Structure 1
Amino acid sequence: MEKVFAQQFEALLEKYSELLVGESSEETKEKVKAWALYSHIAKSMPALAKHWNELYPEGKDEMKVIINEIKLLNEQHRNAPKK
């Protein structure tokens, strides 16, 4: 990947994280990236997601934790008083 594109894509991910959950720390961006990619895979290739879930049940459990955390952060961000 070109360095310029990688920087531009990183800026997109940072802004997406900020708009989605109200923050864009490195840890949060990694969770948002995993959540977004897993969600896309689960929708576009559900059999692959099901296979992965069965092959890696501990990974499935971790993904559930990430999904619930993103959902909670998003709800908190949406319900926070506007500045």
Structure 2
Amino acid sequence: MDNNLSEQINGLLEKYTELLVGEASADNVEKVKTWIVYSHIAKSMPPLAKHWNAEYPDAKDQIKNVIAEVKEMNERNRQK
């Protein structure tokens, strides 16, 4: 992938994170990226997500926690 495109996508992700949860810290960007990737896979290929969840139950719990945390941060940001 073109280095310039990679930088621009990272900038887009940072701005999206800022708008979604209020702060684009490195930790928040990583949580939002994880949420985006998992959500997309779960919607576009549910059997794959289901298989992954069964294969890695600890990771599934971590994903659930990340999703809940992103949702909570988004709700707090929207109330501002």
State the TM-score, normalized to the length of structure 1: 0.94
Runs of 4+ more than 4 Å apart: none
What's the counterpart of residue 51 of structure 1? 51
Q: In the aligned structure 2, how far is the partner of 1:23 from the partner of 1:46?
A: 30
Q: Which amino acid aligns with 2:60?
A: K
Q: In the aligned structure 2, how far is the partner of 1:33 from the partner of 1:64?
A: 14
SS in 1 for 2:24: coil
Q: Can you give the 5+ residue segments of structure 1 that lack an aligned partner in the other structure? A: none
Per-residue CA deviation, residues 5-37 of structure 1 (Å, 9 max, x unaligned), is 111011100000001000101111011000001
Map of 1:1-80 to 2, 5 A cutoff? 1-80=1-80
Per-residue CA deviation, residues 16-74 of structure 1 (Å, 9 max, x unaligned), is 00010001011110110000010000000000000000000000000000000000000
Q: In the aligned structure 2, how far is the partner of 1:8 from the partner of 1:23?
A: 18
Q: Which amino acid aligns with 2:57?
A: P
Q: Can you give the 5+ residue segments of structure 2 that lack an aligned partner in the other structure? A: none
Q: In the aligned structure 2, how far is the partner of 1:14 from the partner of 1:56?
A: 28
State the TM-score, normalized to the length of structure 2: 0.98
Structure 1 residue 2 displacement after superposition? 1.3
Q: How many residues align?
A: 80
